[in-house]
Chain A
Amino acid sequence: MRAQYILVDGLPIPFEEGQTIMEAAMAAEVFIPHLCHHPEFKPQGSCKLCTVKANGRYVSACTMPAKDGMEVENNSPDLNDKRRTMLQMLFVEGNHFCPSCEQSGNCMLQALAYELEMLTPHFNQFYPDRPLDASHPEVLLDFNRCILCELCVRASRDVDGKNVFALSGRGIGKHLIVNAESGRLADTAFSLADKAAHVCPVGVILEKRRGFAIPIGRRRYDLEPIGMQVEGQARRRSGEL
Protein backbone atom coordinates (compact mmCIF):
# COMPACT_ATOMS: atom_id res chain seq x y z
CA MET A 1 0.00 0.00 0.00
CA ARG A 2 1.30 3.45 -0.84
CA ALA A 3 2.12 5.89 1.94
CA GLN A 4 -0.65 8.22 3.06
CA TYR A 5 -0.16 11.97 3.17
CA ILE A 6 -1.85 15.05 4.53
CA LEU A 7 -1.07 18.49 3.11
CA VAL A 8 -0.17 21.00 5.83
CA ASP A 9 0.01 24.45 4.24
CA GLY A 10 0.75 22.68 0.96
CA LEU A 11 3.55 20.56 2.39
CA PRO A 12 2.94 16.81 2.10
CA ILE A 13 3.37 15.06 5.45
CA PRO A 14 3.22 11.28 5.73
CA PHE A 15 1.22 9.68 8.51
CA GLU A 16 0.29 6.26 9.78
CA GLU A 17 -3.23 5.02 10.23
CA GLY A 18 -4.68 6.30 13.52
CA GLN A 19 -2.36 9.27 13.90
CA THR A 20 -3.86 12.69 14.55
CA ILE A 21 -2.92 15.78 12.55
CA MET A 22 -0.81 16.94 15.50
CA GLU A 23 1.08 13.66 15.77
CA ALA A 24 1.82 13.58 12.06
CA ALA A 25 2.96 17.22 12.11
CA MET A 26 5.15 16.67 15.17
CA ALA A 27 6.76 13.61 13.59
CA ALA A 28 7.50 15.67 10.47
CA GLU A 29 8.69 18.55 12.68
CA VAL A 30 6.07 20.99 11.53
CA PHE A 31 5.04 23.30 14.33
CA ILE A 32 1.39 23.60 15.31
CA PRO A 33 1.00 25.84 18.38
CA HIS A 34 -0.41 23.95 21.35
CA LEU A 35 -0.58 24.08 25.15
CA CYS A 36 -2.61 21.16 26.48
CA HIS A 37 -1.15 18.60 24.12
CA HIS A 38 1.74 16.42 25.26
CA PRO A 39 3.00 13.52 23.14
CA GLU A 40 3.02 11.16 26.12
CA PHE A 41 -0.62 11.70 27.06
CA LYS A 42 -3.98 11.09 25.52
CA PRO A 43 -5.02 14.27 23.68
CA GLN A 44 -8.07 16.07 24.96
CA GLY A 45 -8.28 19.23 22.85
CA SER A 46 -9.08 21.69 25.61
CA CYS A 47 -6.84 24.66 24.91
CA LYS A 48 -7.98 24.99 21.28
CA LEU A 49 -4.72 26.68 20.38
CA CYS A 50 -3.98 23.96 17.85
CA THR A 51 -7.13 24.82 15.92
CA VAL A 52 -6.42 24.28 12.22
CA LYS A 53 -8.61 24.33 9.14
CA ALA A 54 -8.89 20.80 7.79
CA ASN A 55 -10.74 20.57 4.49
CA GLY A 56 -12.31 23.95 5.23
CA ARG A 57 -13.55 23.18 8.75
CA TYR A 58 -12.07 24.37 12.02
CA VAL A 59 -10.86 21.40 14.08
CA SER A 60 -8.37 20.73 16.88
CA ALA A 61 -5.25 19.24 15.33
CA CYS A 62 -4.50 17.22 18.46
CA THR A 63 -7.76 15.26 18.37
CA MET A 64 -8.55 15.09 14.64
CA PRO A 65 -7.38 11.88 12.99
CA ALA A 66 -5.40 12.47 9.80
CA LYS A 67 -7.01 11.30 6.58
CA ASP A 68 -5.30 10.72 3.27
CA GLY A 69 -5.30 13.82 1.09
CA MET A 70 -6.59 16.07 3.86
CA GLU A 71 -5.72 19.72 3.25
CA VAL A 72 -4.74 21.40 6.50
CA GLU A 73 -4.30 25.15 6.90
CA ASN A 74 -2.03 25.83 9.85
CA ASN A 75 0.21 28.88 9.69
CA SER A 76 -2.19 31.48 8.28
CA PRO A 77 -2.98 35.03 9.45
CA ASP A 78 -6.59 34.05 10.15
CA LEU A 79 -5.68 31.13 12.41
CA ASN A 80 -2.84 32.93 14.12
CA ASP A 81 -5.17 35.87 14.85
CA LYS A 82 -7.57 33.51 16.55
CA ARG A 83 -4.79 31.81 18.48
CA ARG A 84 -3.48 35.17 19.61
CA THR A 85 -6.92 36.17 20.88
CA MET A 86 -7.18 32.88 22.79
CA LEU A 87 -3.76 33.50 24.34
CA GLN A 88 -4.86 36.99 25.37
CA MET A 89 -7.90 35.48 27.03
CA LEU A 90 -5.70 33.00 28.90
CA PHE A 91 -3.41 35.81 30.01
CA VAL A 92 -6.15 38.02 31.46
CA GLU A 93 -7.97 35.11 33.08
CA GLY A 94 -5.10 34.27 35.42
CA ASN A 95 -2.31 36.31 36.94
CA HIS A 96 0.50 35.97 34.44
CA PHE A 97 3.26 38.40 35.29
CA CYS A 98 6.23 37.08 33.36
CA PRO A 99 8.90 39.41 34.82
CA SER A 100 8.31 38.09 38.33
CA CYS A 101 7.72 34.46 37.36
CA GLU A 102 10.27 31.77 38.08
CA GLN A 103 9.30 29.93 34.91
CA SER A 104 9.94 32.89 32.61
CA GLY A 105 11.85 31.48 29.66
CA ASN A 106 10.70 27.92 30.29
CA CYS A 107 7.02 28.72 29.98
CA MET A 108 5.06 27.56 26.95
CA LEU A 109 2.40 30.23 27.40
CA GLN A 110 5.03 32.94 27.32
CA ALA A 111 6.89 31.31 24.44
CA LEU A 112 3.71 31.08 22.37
CA ALA A 113 2.80 34.68 23.12
CA TYR A 114 6.15 35.69 21.66
CA GLU A 115 5.78 33.27 18.76
CA LEU A 116 2.34 34.55 17.84
CA GLU A 117 3.39 38.17 18.39
CA MET A 118 0.99 38.95 21.15
CA LEU A 119 1.86 42.52 22.17
CA THR A 120 -0.86 43.41 24.67
CA PRO A 121 -3.37 41.53 26.86
CA HIS A 122 -6.09 43.46 24.94
CA PHE A 123 -8.90 42.45 27.31
CA ASN A 124 -9.48 43.72 30.85
CA GLN A 125 -7.52 41.77 33.43
CA PHE A 126 -9.60 39.58 35.75
CA TYR A 127 -7.04 39.68 38.58
CA PRO A 128 -8.43 36.53 40.24
CA ASP A 129 -7.64 35.87 43.89
CA ARG A 130 -5.94 32.49 44.03
CA PRO A 131 -3.95 31.69 47.19
CA LEU A 132 -0.74 29.67 46.90
CA ASP A 133 -0.28 26.23 48.41
CA ALA A 134 3.13 26.03 50.06
CA SER A 135 2.23 23.18 52.39
CA HIS A 136 4.27 20.50 50.62
CA PRO A 137 7.93 20.24 51.74
CA GLU A 138 9.29 19.94 48.19
CA VAL A 139 6.80 21.65 45.90
CA LEU A 140 5.08 25.02 45.75
CA LEU A 141 1.77 25.42 43.93
CA ASP A 142 1.04 28.81 42.41
CA PHE A 143 -2.51 28.55 41.08
CA ASN A 144 -2.32 32.08 39.68
CA ARG A 145 -0.65 30.75 36.57
CA CYS A 146 -2.92 27.78 35.89
CA ILE A 147 -4.30 27.57 32.35
CA LEU A 148 -6.40 24.44 33.00
CA CYS A 149 -4.51 22.28 30.50
CA GLU A 150 -5.07 19.26 32.76
CA LEU A 151 -1.59 17.87 32.08
CA CYS A 152 -0.87 17.46 35.81
CA VAL A 153 -4.31 15.90 36.25
CA ARG A 154 -3.63 13.41 33.47
CA ALA A 155 -0.07 12.69 34.59
CA SER A 156 -1.03 12.08 38.20
CA ARG A 157 -3.99 9.91 37.25
CA ASP A 158 -2.60 7.95 34.30
CA VAL A 159 1.13 7.71 35.03
CA ASP A 160 1.62 8.13 38.77
CA GLY A 161 -1.69 6.46 39.67
CA LYS A 162 -2.15 8.92 42.53
CA ASN A 163 -4.95 11.17 41.31
CA VAL A 164 -3.57 14.16 43.17
CA PHE A 165 -5.03 16.91 40.97
CA ALA A 166 -8.46 17.59 39.55
CA LEU A 167 -10.44 20.41 38.00
CA SER A 168 -13.43 21.65 39.91
CA GLY A 169 -16.23 24.07 39.09
CA ARG A 170 -17.63 25.01 35.71
CA GLY A 171 -17.26 27.78 33.19
CA ILE A 172 -15.30 30.76 34.41
CA GLY A 173 -15.34 29.30 37.95
CA LYS A 174 -13.33 26.27 36.86
CA HIS A 175 -10.12 25.85 38.82
CA LEU A 176 -7.43 23.36 39.73
CA ILE A 177 -7.82 21.62 43.08
CA VAL A 178 -5.80 19.13 45.11
CA ASN A 179 -7.58 15.89 45.96
CA ALA A 180 -7.27 15.87 49.73
CA GLU A 181 -9.74 16.36 52.53
CA SER A 182 -7.93 19.54 53.55
CA GLY A 183 -7.26 20.59 49.94
CA ARG A 184 -3.55 20.89 50.77
CA LEU A 185 -0.82 19.26 48.70
CA ALA A 186 1.01 18.16 51.86
CA ASP A 187 -1.86 15.80 52.67
CA THR A 188 -1.52 13.83 49.44
CA ALA A 189 0.99 11.20 48.31
CA PHE A 190 2.48 13.70 45.85
CA SER A 191 6.26 13.69 45.56
CA LEU A 192 8.86 15.44 43.45
CA ALA A 193 9.64 12.18 41.63
CA ASP A 194 6.13 12.09 40.15
CA LYS A 195 5.57 12.69 36.47
CA ALA A 196 2.96 15.26 37.45
CA ALA A 197 5.63 17.40 39.11
CA HIS A 198 7.32 18.03 35.78
CA VAL A 199 4.63 18.40 33.12
CA CYS A 200 3.26 21.85 33.90
CA PRO A 201 3.72 23.97 30.73
CA VAL A 202 3.47 27.16 32.79
CA GLY A 203 4.63 27.94 36.34
CA VAL A 204 2.11 26.35 38.68
CA ILE A 205 4.10 23.38 40.00
CA LEU A 206 7.45 24.68 41.21
CA GLU A 207 10.25 22.82 42.93
CA LYS A 208 11.22 24.49 46.18
CA ARG A 209 14.74 25.74 46.91
CA ARG A 210 15.70 25.55 43.25
CA GLY A 211 14.65 28.95 41.99
CA PHE A 212 16.61 30.50 39.11
CA ALA A 213 19.01 27.54 38.86
CA ILE A 214 19.38 28.55 35.21
CA PRO A 215 19.42 32.34 34.88
CA ILE A 216 16.82 34.14 32.79
CA GLY A 217 18.23 34.62 29.31
CA ARG A 218 19.68 31.14 29.09
CA ARG A 219 16.50 29.14 29.40
CA ARG A 220 14.79 26.93 26.93
CA TYR A 221 12.74 29.47 25.00
CA ASP A 222 15.25 32.27 25.55
CA LEU A 223 17.73 30.47 23.35
CA GLU A 224 15.42 29.74 20.46
CA PRO A 225 11.73 30.55 19.86
CA ILE A 226 9.33 27.67 20.41
CA GLY A 227 8.39 27.33 16.74
CA MET A 228 12.01 27.24 15.62
CA GLN A 229 12.80 24.45 18.08
CA VAL A 230 10.48 22.15 16.19
CA GLU A 231 11.17 23.38 12.68
CA GLY A 232 14.87 23.96 13.30
CA GLN A 233 15.37 20.24 13.80
CA ALA A 234 13.80 19.49 10.45
CA ARG A 235 15.99 22.01 8.65
CA ARG A 236 19.17 20.83 10.36
CA ARG A 237 18.37 17.33 9.27
CA SER A 238 17.78 18.30 5.65
CA GLY A 239 21.10 20.13 5.68
CA GLU A 240 19.85 23.67 5.32
CA LEU A 241 21.49 24.86 8.53
Chain B
Amino acid sequence: MDKIANGHGSQYDINEIFKIHRLLHAASHCGLGQSACNALFDTLHKFRPAYERRLRSLDFEPAFDLDQALAAARQMTGRDDPAAHFRLGPGTGVEP
Protein backbone atom coordinates (compact mmCIF):
# COMPACT_ATOMS: atom_id res chain seq x y z
CA MET B 1 0.00 0.00 0.00
CA ASP B 2 2.84 2.40 0.82
CA LYS B 3 4.43 1.53 -2.47
CA ILE B 4 1.26 2.44 -4.37
CA ALA B 5 0.70 5.59 -2.29
CA ASN B 6 4.25 6.74 -3.03
CA GLY B 7 3.71 6.30 -6.74
CA HIS B 8 6.02 3.33 -7.22
CA GLY B 9 3.37 0.67 -7.75
CA SER B 10 2.35 -1.15 -10.88
CA GLN B 11 -0.41 -3.53 -11.86
CA TYR B 12 1.58 -6.26 -10.16
CA ASP B 13 1.04 -4.72 -6.73
CA ILE B 14 -2.72 -4.50 -7.22
CA ASN B 15 -2.78 -8.18 -8.19
CA GLU B 16 -0.65 -8.96 -5.16
CA ILE B 17 -3.24 -7.33 -2.90
CA PHE B 18 -5.98 -9.42 -4.51
CA LYS B 19 -3.92 -12.55 -3.99
CA ILE B 20 -3.45 -11.84 -0.28
CA HIS B 21 -7.15 -11.03 0.00
CA ARG B 22 -8.08 -14.42 -1.45
CA LEU B 23 -5.61 -16.20 0.83
CA LEU B 24 -6.96 -14.44 3.91
CA HIS B 25 -10.45 -15.46 2.90
CA ALA B 26 -9.53 -19.09 2.44
CA ALA B 27 -7.07 -19.75 5.22
CA SER B 28 -8.04 -17.61 8.20
CA HIS B 29 -9.04 -19.22 11.46
CA CYS B 30 -12.03 -16.99 12.09
CA GLY B 31 -14.25 -14.31 10.62
CA LEU B 32 -11.97 -11.58 11.83
CA GLY B 33 -9.21 -12.70 9.49
CA GLN B 34 -11.63 -13.51 6.71
CA SER B 35 -13.05 -10.02 6.72
CA ALA B 36 -9.80 -8.17 7.50
CA CYS B 37 -9.07 -7.42 3.87
CA ASN B 38 -12.68 -6.65 2.87
CA ALA B 39 -12.44 -2.88 3.29
CA LEU B 40 -9.34 -2.73 1.14
CA PHE B 41 -10.83 -5.08 -1.42
CA ASP B 42 -14.02 -3.01 -1.67
CA THR B 43 -12.19 0.28 -2.17
CA LEU B 44 -10.05 -1.38 -4.84
CA HIS B 45 -13.13 -2.79 -6.49
CA LYS B 46 -15.22 0.37 -6.48
CA PHE B 47 -12.60 3.10 -6.72
CA ARG B 48 -10.02 1.41 -8.85
CA PRO B 49 -9.22 4.54 -10.91
CA ALA B 50 -8.16 6.29 -7.70
CA TYR B 51 -5.58 3.59 -7.19
CA GLU B 52 -4.57 3.43 -10.82
CA ARG B 53 -3.84 7.16 -10.92
CA ARG B 54 -1.10 6.51 -8.40
CA LEU B 55 0.51 3.64 -10.28
CA ARG B 56 3.71 4.33 -12.11
CA SER B 57 2.45 2.36 -15.05
CA LEU B 58 -0.81 0.60 -15.82
CA ASP B 59 1.11 -2.22 -17.43
CA PHE B 60 3.57 -4.51 -15.83
CA GLU B 61 6.94 -2.78 -15.57
CA PRO B 62 9.53 -5.00 -17.18
CA ALA B 63 12.84 -4.92 -15.35
CA PHE B 64 14.64 -5.56 -18.63
CA ASP B 65 14.43 -3.14 -21.59
CA LEU B 66 15.17 -5.06 -24.76
CA ASP B 67 15.50 -1.99 -26.96
CA GLN B 68 17.98 -0.48 -24.53
CA ALA B 69 19.95 -3.72 -24.49
CA LEU B 70 20.29 -3.56 -28.27
CA ALA B 71 21.94 -0.14 -28.14
CA ALA B 72 25.45 -1.58 -28.06
CA ALA B 73 24.74 -3.77 -31.08
CA ARG B 74 23.34 -0.77 -33.00
CA GLN B 75 26.44 1.22 -32.27
CA MET B 76 28.73 -1.57 -33.42
CA THR B 77 26.89 -2.09 -36.71
CA GLY B 78 26.38 1.63 -37.27
CA ARG B 79 22.66 1.15 -37.85
CA ASP B 80 19.92 3.31 -36.45
CA ASP B 81 17.02 2.60 -38.83
CA PRO B 82 13.60 1.59 -37.45
CA ALA B 83 14.28 -2.09 -38.15
CA ALA B 84 17.19 -1.99 -35.72
CA HIS B 85 14.89 -0.97 -32.91
CA PHE B 86 12.78 -3.31 -30.88
CA ARG B 87 9.47 -1.74 -30.07
CA LEU B 88 6.28 -3.49 -29.25
CA GLY B 89 3.03 -2.43 -30.76
CA PRO B 90 1.11 -2.04 -34.02
CA GLY B 91 2.96 -0.95 -37.14
CA THR B 92 6.37 -1.95 -35.87
CA GLY B 93 6.24 -5.48 -37.17
CA VAL B 94 6.55 -6.82 -33.64
CA GLU B 95 3.29 -7.58 -31.93
CA PRO B 96 3.23 -7.49 -28.15
Contact = CB atoms under 8 A, between A and B. Distances in A.
Contacts of A191: none
Interface in A28-48: 45-46, 48
A86 interface: yes
B23 interface: yes
A47 to B, nearest CB: 10
Contacts of A58: 25-27
Interface string A29-71: 0000000000000000110100100000010000000000000
B79 interface: no
A46 B33 CA distance: 13
A32 to B, nearest CB: 14
Q: Is the interface of B mostly helix, strand, loop or mixed?
A: helix
A85 B19 CA distance: 9
Nearest to B16: A122
A64 to B, nearest CB: 13
Q: Is the interface of A mostly helix, strand, loop or mixed?
A: mixed
A48 B26 CA distance: 9
A208 interface: no
A218 interface: no
Interface in A60-104: 82, 85-86
A82 B25 CA distance: 11
A82 to B, nearest CB: 5
Contacts of A86: 23, 27
Contacts of B23: 82, 85-86
Contacts of B27: 48, 51, 58, 82, 86
A100 B19 CA distance: 32
Contacts of B20: 85
Contacts of B26: 51, 58, 82
Interface in B1-52: 19-20, 22-23, 25-29
A46 B25 CA distance: 15
Interface of A: 45-46, 48, 51, 58, 82, 85-86
Given A51-B26, A82-B27, 17 more contacts: A45-B29, A46-B29, A48-B27, A48-B28, A48-B29, A51-B27, A58-B25, A58-B26, A58-B27, A82-B22, A82-B23, A82-B26, A85-B19, A85-B20, A85-B23, A86-B23, A86-B27
11 contacts: A48-B27, A48-B28, A48-B29, A51-B26, A58-B26, A58-B27, A82-B27, A85-B19, A85-B20, A85-B23, A86-B23
Which 5 pairs of residues, A with B, have the shortest CB-CB distance?
A58-B26, A48-B27, A51-B27, A82-B23, A85-B23
